[in-house]
Amino acid sequence: MTTVDGLWYLADEAEQRAAQAYHRTVDTYGEGQLERTYRKHVSRGRFRTLAERIQRSGAPYGAHTLVYRPSGEVLLVRHEGVDLWVLPGGGVDGAESFRETAERELQEEAGVDAVYDGLAMLNRVEITCGGHRTWGVLPVFCARAETTDTSIADPDDEISAARWFDPPSVPEDTRDREDLIDAARAVA
């Protein structure tokens, strides 16, 4: 008797949802932003978690914002869960759009008001575990800061700091540092 691998089925459904989310995002914001592909090999449990997120929203890590000041500095937050500087952002809640998610997360993690300009990056995250694979989108919105004082109101208590950095001075322990610097230069 053959058994159906539930993880395979979940990965397939997640992949379909990711394709829909990708095309909907391109249709809404157009093309022309930077695109990168990131590859993550994860444990079986983490694969299931990420595939379930992708199945719900199309995105394993939600949506993020590349916020810049007129001086060209970009905002990063210190995420203690991964021990890195990252762009403000996080998971999609319910029926939120990617942009609504990015705006909410920016408020929670840094308290900065910003005017959104569209997408800075639309990335693809390929996730594997053994013979299982799926992918999801990682939209990064571009926004010009209207206020620059930061205040953290993170309900998850993962963010310990929010700071502005000149792109060449972005800390070495920044997630996807070179891609972030390229994106910051493209919007400046």
Q: What is the pLDDT of residues 89-110, one digit of tens each?
A: 999 998 999 999 999 999 999 9
Note the pLDDT of residue 136.
98
- What is the average per-residue pLDDT within 118-122? 92
pLDDT confidence of 154, banded at 50, 70, 90?
confident
Note the pLDDT of residue 53.
97
Note the pLDDT of residue 93.
93
Rounded-to-integer distance, Cα 78 and Cα 59, Å: 21
- What is the average per-residue pLDDT within 156-160? 88
Element (H, E) at 41: strand 37-41
What is the pTM (predicted TM-score) of this model?
A: 0.91
- What is the average per-residue pLDDT within 151-169? 90
CA distances for 111 relative to 8, 56, 63, 107, 146, angstroms: 40, 27, 16, 4, 11
Q: Where are the domains of the chain?
A: 6-187
Helix residue ranges per DSSP H, 30-162:
44-57, 98-110
pLDDT confidence of 153, banded at 50, 70, 90?
confident
Note the pLDDT of residue 3.
43
Note the pLDDT of residue 32.
62
CATH of region 6-187: 3.90.79.10
Query: What tens digit of pLDDT does each residue of 54-94 get?
Result: 999 999 999 999 999 989 999 999 999 899 999 999 999 98
- Closest by CA position to 40, among listed 155, 128, 138: 128
The yes-or-no verdict on residue 1 having pLDDT over 50 is: no
